[in-house]
Amino acid sequence: MKKKQEDPPAGAPAWMATFSDLMNLLLCFFVLLFAMSNVDQEKAEALVASLQNKFSVLPAGATSIGDGKMISAGVRQLEFLDQYYNEVANSAAEDTDDQKDGKNTVQEEYEEMSITESEKMAEEIQAEIDKSEYKDQVEVDFNAQYVQLNLSGAILFDSGKAELVSGAKPIVDRIARILERYNKNIIEVEGHTDNVPINSSRFPNNEVLSMYRALAVTDRIRDHSKLDPKYIKFAGRGDHVPVGDNNTAEGRARNRRVEIKIYNSYNSDVKE
């Protein structure tokens, strides 16, 4: 009697499970190789963010990226991942460039408005000074932060002294009245000297002398104007910021000066 043939075992053949494991291991291997390659940090972060949104798990367990190109159907599809990575990275780079261009544009507009305001202030102040008899004794300059008035120390103080001479007081008073229209702007008075050493009982060095000279001008402005004192400050810079050559008499005379800086509204930040 012929022997009855046995039924085949249920389920997939054993070799198929081994083959599937091999394919998964190969896929992991190539993904690791890709992950260990040198990539730009910003581009990699952009890629991760994009992949989190664009990866979708299909019912059959496969995974798609971008327009549905398969990557878990076999290692041959890994080229699509590299292509997609480049597209995402390039897109992120373009967005970053656009953001930088936007910031640069805003900064340029801010600086343009700032210097335009300073220029307008300088023209107003110069016009007022030109109406007075002191137009040859006050220099007006400006930049994107402030308008600067330069007064020679020779017309303000005697040598080695910090008290305003009588002829200087009307000049400072006139400037104080001009400054009243900028009552909400920071006003800074700076004293400067040449590099000739000084050592007296009151002024041990040029920094102290320049500070007292700046204070003398500041006090005169406060006392002869309606300016809010909280917007006015002073500083002594000594011989640290020369504008002339200290090796010549003319240069030293230029360095002995008082500067009054009126900051524009873009650079006048005072807490109420």
pLDDT at residue number 71:
44
* Distance, CA of 37 to CA of 78 (rounded, Å): 14
72 vs 153, residue with greater confidence: 153
Work out the average pLDDT over 73-98.
59
Residue % of the chain over a pLDDT of 70:
68
Work out the average pLDDT over 178-199.
95
User: Mean pLDDT for the chain?
Assistant: 81
Asked if 246 and 202 touch (Cβ cutoff 8 Å), the reply is no
- The CA distances from residue 255 to 129, 154, 227, 248, in Å, are 22, 10, 28, 11
158 vs 50, residue with greater confidence: 158
| Backbone φ and ψ of 151, nearest 5° | -120, 130
What are the tens digits of pLDDT across the range 200-239?
Answer: 889 999 999 999 999 999 999 999 999 999 999 999 999 9
pLDDT at residue number 241:
96
* Distance, CA of 47 to CA of 92 (rounded, Å): 9
CA 227, distance to chain mean position in Å, is 31
pTM for the full model?
0.63
* Distance, CA of 104 to CA of 62 (rounded, Å): 45
